[in-house]
Structure 1
Amino acid sequence: MKNLKVVFLSVIVIALSVTSCTKDEIVNATDTNAVVASATIDAMNELDFKTGTQVTFDYSLSKSTNKSSVNSLVGACAIVSVDNLTPNVFPKVITIDFGTGCTTNNITRKGKLKITLSGLVSTPKATMKIERENYYVNGFKVEGTIVYVNETVTPNIPQWSRTVTNGKLTNLEGMVFLNAGTHTIKQTEGVGTPLILSDNTYEMIQGTHTVSKENGPSLTLTVAETLVKKYDCDYVSKGKLTVKSDLLNGTIDYGNGDCDNKFTFTHENGLVFNLTM
């Protein structure tokens, strides 16, 4: 996300709106916190995936990398190092060191991202592992590992599994949220132009993730209708998630394909909330 800070502020507004508008205890404070955490975690995972995709693209194919494209995501103040600069030779470990603070696109990150590649992410069975080391985004501490495995069956429809393990978010108030999940992702556009990322479109066709406050109840979000995410759009533009917890049950709807920050949450009792990210 280019403006993750705005997303964080927006989801807090969402939480307050849900709390003030619901009746019959649709959500309590714990559920609201989990919703905020879920939206924040999704935004951070998307940011790290996009960063990983870009540096993988720039540093795997040749020694002559496009530094401007890397800097547009990680910031000119970050230091990118590669353990193996030989083109198309793997495994390869790319480390992005944001130091004590590096800001780009209104996002301040510190700490490190470590990206381990077993091969080009477009190669069947190849893996990309993203690890966080003392890593912070706009003051939120983010922990956990994301692993992408290429599971392509049809050559012109690349497919990956994405698994988050040991996910942990510590917010600005010191609250801790644990998260984990697995999804299946397909690339449906841009396959014919492998050297261009901007025309790629990805679809999350299935999967579930859970978010729980430490020592508290959990929120489960499951893909109900395929989520559509274009590489050059900051937002999921289409698709639905089913939301379940002890009190908060309903559907998140991202719309019909427009690249905007709007979505709705419809509770099982029929209440509809028009929200923005």
Structure 2
Amino acid sequence: MRKSIFKLGLMTIFSMILFACDREDSNEGIIESINQEEAVLTAKVDNATEVISDTFVQTYESEESLQKGPIHPFLPECATVTIELTDTSKEVTVDFGTEGCEVRGHTIKGKVNMSYVADVDAMTLVINYNLEDFFVDDIQFAGSKTVTRQKTNDNGNPQYMMDLDLVVTFADGTQASRTGQKTREWIEGSFNGNWGDNVFLITGAWETNFANGNTHSTTITTALRREASCRFLVSGVRNLVRTNYSGTLDYGDGACDNKAVFTNTDGEERDILL
């Protein structure tokens, strides 16, 4: 009898251990799924914000070009540009409409409102802009940026230092906010009138805060390379840190594709589609 009771006790304890392990594995699986999903969303935000930066840079540089023509060469015909000019300031609104315009593989909707001092000769110029009902594909962005434009940096290149303050809403209703700073150095193709050969190097650090309380802190460890001829980032590495989870996101070796690789601290790799 005592042996039976002892065996039953051992079986019960063993079952409890198995159940606890299964539950722990299940929880780890859920956490891993959430982490990977948030890594994907963060990567999508990264790519979409570069589309916004492209739009801002090309609009400003085209507007202030000494060879400015009646038509913006880098904007689609469906985009409407409105200008309000005073003796000292300039306001530029680019309206992509509610149906959206196709811009190098992305559908952009809504307005970009820009304002700055009208001084094309300034070596440093502060430009403010905000987004109004603005979408890149199915991701909505709200908020504003302050951009400090250097005509020439220490490398002899134009440069844009951007303060980020954006609220992001994904198609499924998931929300996140992004704050931080980013610098775009224009290393190839500047001021030649051909947007397709332009190349930027991006550095900086920022935080992406999700509505569930999770925070992703990002620091670019190898400059991200943005080529205007490609709709995706083509190379560079950024470090992603979360309270209980961290890793790196590698955008590749220069090939124009929608792939990145996320590697966690255990060395496990996950393919990310942008």
| Same-fold status (TM-score > 0.5) | yes
**1:79 and 2:80 correspond:** yes
Question: Contact 2:164 / 2:182 at 8 angstroms: preserved in 1?
Answer: no
**Aligned pair partner of 1:102 in 77, 100, 110:** 100
Cα distance, 1:52–1:185 mapped onto 2, change above 3 Å = closer
Q: Residue in 1 aligned with 2:125?
A: 126
Q: Work out the CA distance in 2 between the residues paired with 1:102 and 1:110.
A: 4
Equivalent AA in structure 2 for residue 142 of structure 1: F
- Distance of 1:212 and 1:81 partners within structure 2: 34
* Aligned twin of 1:241: 238
* Structure 2 counterpart of 1:136: 135
Aligned to 1:116, the other structure's residue is in SS state strand
Would you say the 8 A contact 2:47–2:232 is kept in 1?
no
Structure 2 counterpart SS, 1:236: coil
Give the C-alpha shift of residue 26 in structure 1. 8.7
Segments of 5+ residues of structure 2 without an aligned counterpart are 1-25
TM-score (norm 1): 0.76
2:60 maps to: 56
In 2, Cα distance between equivalents of 1:109 and 1:157 = 28
- What number of residue pairs does the alignment pair up? 246
* Alignment partner, residue 270 of structure 2: 273
Map of 1:28-39 to 2, 5 A cutoff? Answer: 28=32, 30-39=34-43
Paired with 1:121 and 1:219, the residues of 2 have a C-alpha distance of 38
After superposition, the C-alpha distances for 1:150-189 in whole angstroms (9 at most, x for unaligned) are 2444262333312111x11122222221111102232222
TM-superposed CA distance for 1:28, in Å, is: 4.2
Coordinate RMSD, CA, aligned = 2.9
Residue 147 in structure 1 maps to residue 151 in structure 2: no
Distance 1:126 1:241, change over 3 A: same
Contact 1:58–1:66 (Cα < 8 Å) also in 2: no
**Separation (CA, whole Å) in 2 of partners of 1:210 and 1:239:** 18
What secondary structure sits across from 1:259 in the alignment?
A: coil
Letter in 2 for 1:54: Q
Q: Tell me if the contact between 1:220 and 1:245 (Cα under 8 Å) persists in the aligned partners.
A: yes
Aligned partner of 1:8 in structure 2 is none
The alignment status of 1:181 with 2:180, answered yes or no, reads yes
Provide structure 1 residue ranges, at least 5 long, that are not aligned to the other structure: 1-21
Deviation at 1:55, TM superposition (A): 2.1
Paired amino acid for 2:128: K
CA-CA distance at 1:243 after TM superposition? 1.0
Q: Which has the higher contact order (CA 8 A, sep 6+)?
A: 1
Q: Does the CA-based 8 Å contact 2:217-2:241 persist in structure 1?
A: yes
Instruction: Give me the whole-angstrom Cα distance separating, in 2, the residues matched to 1:258 and 1:180.
Output: 29
User: TM-score, structure 2 length as denominator?
Assistant: 0.77
Residue 258 (structure 1) aligns with: 255
Asked which structure has the greater CA Rg, the reply is: 2
Q: Distance in 2 between matches of 1:164 and 1:268?
A: 28
What are the superposed Cα offsets for residues 101-139 of structure 1, whole Å, 9 maximum, x if unpaired? Answer: 223256444332112233578953213333111223344
Q: Within 2, Cα distance between the matches of 1:176 and 1:44?
A: 15
State the distance in 1 between where 2:80 and 2:252 align.
Answer: 38
CA distance in 2, matches of 1:107, 1:185: 20
Please name the residue that 1:9 is paired with.
none
Q: Quote the Cα distance in structure 1 between the aligned partners of 2:272 and 2:40.
A: 13
- CA shift in 2, pair 1:41/1:82, >3 Å: same
Q: Return the letter of the residue paired with 1:196.
A: N
Give the direction of change, closer, same or farther, for the CA distance of 1:80–1:39 in structure 2 (3 Å limit). Answer: same
